[in-house]
Amino acid sequence: MTGSRAPRAPPGLGAPARLWTVEEANARLAGLRELLPQLQGWGTRLGEVHSELGRLARFWGEELGSRDQPDHGLHGRLEAEWRNLTRRLDESVESLRGEGIEVKQLGIGLVDFYALLDGELVLLCWKLDEVEIGFYHTLEGGFAGRRPLPSRGRTVPTETVGRN
């Protein structure tokens, strides 16, 4: 995945933290297979905490912040958990971004790796349920525009072709 031209980034996009080869990205997948389910769990818990905070706010209204209402302690613990989970998620996603990996849809474990294909800056596209990196798309194309990687002497895993 190399080319003779300098990579082209769209206007407003700074240079990615790094460019990945398919082989390097595939080697990074083992760590992502461990990390992404953890991040998904945090995201799920954030949704639960959000729902519970909303329930408390609807039930108590303006009294929610009062120190003498019975759910004051619960509300404080939920807000602290919300802040902690949000911080941990933000830090993890930012750390991946620092590696040149973009988390696109946490719920399905969709991530992109910046790479060069024939001198063009593209994104290697991978989902948590896929065996290896077998697709890419342009920076503007997104998931809907993903295409199989050029052969390069190997086959694209057939169980991933055409799945969303």
Per-residue pLDDT for 164 more than 80? no
Structure confidence by residue, pLDDT tens digits, 41-57:
999 999 999 999 999 99
pLDDT for residue 8? 47
pLDDT for residue 17? 82
pLDDT for residue 162? 37
Structure confidence by residue, pLDDT tens digits, 32-41:
999 999 999 9
Q: To which H or E segment does residue 15 belong?
A: none
Q: Which tokens go with 147? A: 């295409």
pLDDT for residue 151? 67
pLDDT for residue 65? 84
Per-residue pLDDT for 12 more than 80? no
**pTM score over 0.85:** no
Tell me how many degrees the CA angle 85-91-93 measures, rounded to the nearest 5.
100
User: What number is the average pLDDT over the span 74-85?
Assistant: 97
Q: Where are the domains of the chain?
A: 22-160
User: What number is the average pLDDT over the span 60-65?
Assistant: 89
Per-residue pLDDT for 71 more than 80? yes
User: What number is the average pLDDT over the span 48-71?
Assistant: 93
Residue among 141, 140, 143, 107 at smallest CA distance from 125 = 143
Residue among 128, 119, 134 at smallest CA distance from 5 = 119
